[in-house]
Amino acid sequence: MGRGHANGVIGFLCAALAAVVALSLAPSVLADPEPVAGRAGVHEGVATCAGSTCHSRPVASGLVVRQNELITWQDPHTEAGAHSRAWKVLTQPRAEAIAKRLDIGPAEKAPACLACHADPVAAGQRGARFQISDGVGCEACHGGAGGWIASHYAVGATHAANVERGMIALDDPKTRAARCLDCHFGGSGEHQFVSHRLMAAGHPQISFELDLFTSLQKHHDIDADYSARHKVIAGPVKTWAVGQAMALDRTLTLYGPRHTGGAFPDFVFFDCQSCHRTFSSDDPKWRPVSEPNPGRPIPVGAPPFNDANMIMLSAAAKVAAPALAGRFETESRDFHQALAQNGGVAAAKATALAATSKSLADAFARHDFSRAETLAIFQGLLSGETAKRYTDYTGASQAVMAADTLLNGLVAEGAIDRAQAARVRPDLDRAYSAVRDPNAFHPAEARAALLAVAEKVRGLK
Ligand code: HEC
Ligand code: HEC
Ligand code: HEC
Ligand code: HEC
């Protein structure tokens, strides 16, 4: 994966899916208006957004927005089209096998799958053209269009008025993160969670970074008129930082309520490889592979909580929210320590750390990241004390995605030019390869690759 790269961080990211959701392109809403009164919150269906005068122009020639958003959403060849395939995937053998192991009937009808692979709003909220088979349709992200479908393209429409009528303000990084995380980690909906059970049944592992994933599915331009319409322009670095804080908040908030149903918290919160590794105490060649981690003070043999977002946040906080950084650091260590000692105390520590993560999300959302700060975060993340914390797969793969996003931020902020960024690419690609396969992950290799990226950027000036 990576910007402009065909391959995934993680192999499964690019599993080619040629199938496109067959969508009968309905005539435009201009020609066939829906009654609007009392329809606030109703999900009208993707077909309602289609039409060559609306969002399915063959080319991006719209005056205000591209107007070919639907074509991008349906792109059969790229990650940008993944959401249109999300339901279709449930009808395929891999999903059937998962559903069979879970004994939940056909995947394409199971609430346990539809929660994230479609837009399963209640029956009363489905408009005449709503189809579950549209997968993750426009309104799964932008919100039910019943209240604004007729007014949002009219003369005098404003972003604020659209939002008032129920459009979700996805330009705001906190709001966007919250929406994406519902499916790309877990939400409050009963079935919105990729539990360890789901993974044990064959579901792919989830990996998410707000800015990178936004670019991969991007169907909008941030241009003069975008800002003239008073939409928030967050930029890559802020989007990344807010995304990290929101992800940690979400993880810790779900950590309490989401249990396996048995004696243990859901294993999905912990480093997978800490349990899933081969060992044979009879084998003279066998050596323990767990490494000491200065940011995670737990005894050998205790399952380590996935700290990928914590490491990112700690590096961002030191530079952009120093007033919160110390507290965040102490609370993170306390949380890890409590987990290895006492479940009840750990839950309380999780709540405290979640509150600090929320404060960090707010602080980052208000903050303007300067070039110097982006460079400092970049170096801080990939080298020095922080780099010693990449002892497991998820942390290292978040760091690689962060390197990609921050490099892009440095270009956006004019700190380095495109040609210089291109010279860093081979090192970044090496870092991506170091985290391609969780089963062949060697922490030292990943750290060396990340360090090489940091050194290359340092040498650019
Ligand atoms: C309603 C659930 C849902 C929401 C909300 C959602 N996604 Fe997704 N997303 C999915 C599912 C399911 C897939 C996998 C589809 C597939 O591969 O068939 C996916 C795939 C993707 C992919 C392709 C990744 C890959 O590995 O190919 C990107 C990029 C992505 N989402 C970005 C986002 C972003 C950014 C947001 C928020 C603005 C978001 N998603 C919101 C459910 C959702
Ligand atoms: C909490 C949300 C969530 C739930 C619940 C969920 N999934 Fe997923 N699923 C995702 C996301 C997000 C992805 C994409 C992962 C990525 O590429 O980052 C995905 C990917 C997949 C893929 C791989 C798709 C591809 O393009 O290779 C399959 C198959 C799948 N899910 C099947 C299922 C089945 C079957 C169920 C129900 C038992 C289910 N999922 C429940 C969120 C979810
Ligand atoms: C996975 C979530 C997701 C899905 C699905 C999705 N969008 Fe978007 N869309 C976004 C995000 C994020 C943005 C950028 C933030 C913004 O401007 O709202 C965006 C931006 C847009 C914009 C540009 C807004 C502007 O002011 O410039 C349009 C138009 C749009 N989407 C239409 C659609 C249509 C039509 C569909 C369905 C075919 C769709 N979107 C599906 C997340 C999504
Ligand atoms: C605390 C230990 C622990 C952690 C952490 C953990 N697992 Fe597991 N996992 C288990 C156990 C125990 C089983 C059941 C093994 C069995 O059925 O023999 C299992 C089963 C599985 C299976 C099914 C294996 C099979 O051969 O049937 C998969 C796949 C899996 N886990 C994936 C994951 C992923 C992905 C993560 C990280 C997100 C993870 N696990 C984290 C302990 C763990």
In tens digits, what is the pLDDT along the chain, a chain of 461 residues?
Answer: 445 443 334 332 222 222 222 333 333 333 344 445 578 999 999 999 998 889 999 888 888 899 999 999 999 999 999 999 999 999 999 999 999 999 999 999 999 999 999 999 999 999 999 999 999 999 999 999 999 999 998 888 999 999 999 999 999 999 999 999 999 999 988 899 999 999 999 999 999 999 999 999 999 999 888 988 889 999 999 999 999 999 999 999 998 777 666 777 899 999 998 888 777 777 777 766 778 898 998 888 888 999 999 999 999 999 999 999 999 999 999 999 999 888 889 999 999 999 999 999 999 999 999 999 999 999 999 999 999 999 999 999 999 999 999 999 999 989 999 999 999 999 999 999 999 998 888 899 999 999 999 999 998 86
Pairwise CA distance, residues 278 & 286, whole Å: 9
Q: Is 425 in the pocket of ligand 3 (CB under 6 A)?
A: no
User: Which of 118, 139, 168 is the C-terminal boundary of a domain?
Assistant: 168
Cα–ligand 4 centroid distance for 30 (angstroms): 52
Residue 212 lies in a domain: no
Domain enclosing residue 309, as ranges: 237-277+289-458
Same domain, 259 and 397: yes
Residue type, 288: P
- The residue contributing the CA closest to ligand 1 atom 30 is 213
Pairwise CA distance, residues 240 & 154, whole Å: 34
Pairwise CA distance, residues 394 & 170, whole Å: 26
- Count of domains in the chain? 2
- The residue contributing the CA closest to ligand 1 atom 40 is 180
- The residue contributing the CA closest to ligand 4 atom 17 is 200
> Who lines ligand 4 at CB under 6 A?
196, 199-200, 205, 267-268, 270, 272, 274-276, 303
pTM recorded for the entire structure: 0.91
Mutate to test the pocket of ligand 2, among 9, 13, 89, 114 (most ligand atoms within 8 A of CB): 89
User: Which of 151, 168, 185 is the C-terminal boundary of a domain?
Assistant: 168
User: Which of 117, 149, 168 is the C-terminal boundary of a domain?
Assistant: 168
Residue 216 lies in a domain: no
> Within 10 Å of residue 301's Cβ, how many Cβ atoms?
9
Q: Which two tokens stand for residue 222?
A: 């941030």
Mutate to test the pocket of ligand 1, among 180, 208, 242 (most ligand atoms within 8 A of CB): 180
**Residues with Cβ < 8 Å from 68, sequence gap 6 or more?**
55, 56, 57, 58, 59, 60, 61, 62, 219
> Would you say 453 and 27 are in contact if contact means Cβ atoms under 8 Å apart?
no
Residue 86 lies in a domain: yes
B/e letters for 234-258, b = 16+ CB within 10 Å, e = fewer, are bbbbbbbbbbbbbbbbbbbbbbeeb
Residue 249 lies in a domain: yes
**Residues with Cβ < 8 Å from 354, sequence gap 6 or more?**
248, 249, 252, 253
> Who lines ligand 2 at CB under 6 A?
12-13, 15, 17, 89-90, 94-95, 98-99, 102, 107, 110, 112-113, 115-117, 183-184, 186, 191-194, 198, 203-204, 206-207
- The residue contributing the CA closest to ligand 2 atom 36 is 113
Residue 196 lies in a domain: no
Q: Is 117 in the pocket of ligand 1 (CB under 6 A)?
A: yes
> Would you say 210 and 242 are in contact if contact means Cβ atoms under 8 Å apart?
yes
B/e letters for 96-115, b = 16+ CB within 10 Å, e = fewer, are eebbeebebeebbebebbbb
